[in-house]
Amino acid sequence: MVIDVVNISKNDLIKWIRESLVKYRIKLRKRLSQVMMVEPKAFKKIIETISLLINDVEKPLIVEVGAGLGTLTSALGKIPNSYIISIELDTRFTPLLKELQGSFPNIDIVISDARVFLRTTKNPYIVVGNLPYHITSDLILEVGKSSVEYVVITVQKDVADRFIAKPGDKNYSKISLFVQYLFDVEICEILPPSSFIPSPDVFSAIVVMKRKRAFNEYADVEDIVKCLFSFRRKHVLKSLKKCLNVELNMLGINESDDLWRKRVYQLAPEDIEKLVIVLRKVRLKRGQWEE
């Protein structure tokens, strides 16, 4: 049975999900962060957002992470001129998802780890999904490194808050810097625990990301940024010397630049280019950089 999650009532959607779980003998696993969205208004918001993003694109490739029972999958399948690859790691959902695939010629079901899939697939246009909370950061890293143009995902609100945190905020971290350097980020909807079954202990958020840079520049500083944030409250210059294990004269920098007076947790996306230049100079001096 194909469920219409946008136009069904919340109570009927909950009933369908519970009956489906019983029918296919599936018990949701807490260790896999398995919760099911049951708020039709949230599904409608996601579909409307995606439809706007792909409005002028001919047959865009939409990659769904965590198909589960196929609730969002079925709604995606109704978007005109779209091609959907829905990824699910848990093989217990396979029989239901294969039935769903039979109803939509534009949907392919892939039983795989989404993190691995994103490393190998070419030209995905948009990634969408209710992300498993325990691997959200890993998935975001893979999305950022891919060629994905847009992201529409549901994550824990505290994770969403880190995505949009400003440099110097208590929530600001290396994932904040990573996301904001690569994407414009917006929280477009806050969802209470009652939007899911079983109800999580926290609020969630629908987040929209729009690509503004490719990953290749950030790739130069990825390891250094990880190291720098291990000295979160130290000055950038002192931390950089430790991370690179070099003396100041090797850095070839102007110490009066505002960047070097910042602490690590104040690093902003616009500082990445300066770090790239410094690292290239160091590598050149070490004979490791090739023009």
* 107 within domain boundaries: yes
Q: Is the dihedral of CA 145, 149, 153, 159 positive or negative?
A: positive
Torsion of CA 60, 182, 245, 278, to 10 degrees: 110
Per-residue pLDDT for the chain (291 aa), expressed as one digit of tens each? 678 999 999 999 999 999 999 999 999 988 777 899 999 999 999 999 999 999 888 889 999 999 999 999 999 999 988 999 999 999 999 999 999 999 999 999 999 999 999 888 878 899 999 987 778 999 999 999 999 999 999 999 999 999 999 999 999 999 999 999 999 999 999 999 999 999 999 999 999 999 999 998 899 899 999 999 999 999 998 898 889 887 766 676 777 778 888 999 999 999 998 888 888 877 777 665 444
Shared-domain flag, residues 224 and 147 = no
- Where are any strands of DSSP class E within 16-166? 36-37, 61-65, 83-88, 107-111, 126-130, 150-156
Residue where one domain finishes, among candidates 213, 234, 263: 213
Shared-domain flag, residues 50 and 161 = yes
Shared-domain flag, residues 152 and 137 = yes
A 10 A CB-CB count for 255 gives 10
Shared-domain flag, residues 118 and 194 = yes
Shared-domain flag, residues 179 and 251 = no
Shared-domain flag, residues 107 and 189 = yes
Shared-domain flag, residues 186 and 280 = no
- For 230, the domain range is 220-285
Tell me how many domains the chain contains. 2
* 291 within domain boundaries: no
Query: Which CATH number does the domain housing residue 206 bear?
Result: 3.40.50.150
Length of the chain as a residue count:
291
Interatomic CA distance for residues 101 and 110, integer angstroms: 10
* 186 within domain boundaries: yes
Interatomic CA distance for residues 58 and 171, integer angstroms: 39
* 4 within domain boundaries: no
Q: Peptide bond preceding 198: is omega within 30 degrees of 0, i.e. cis?
A: yes
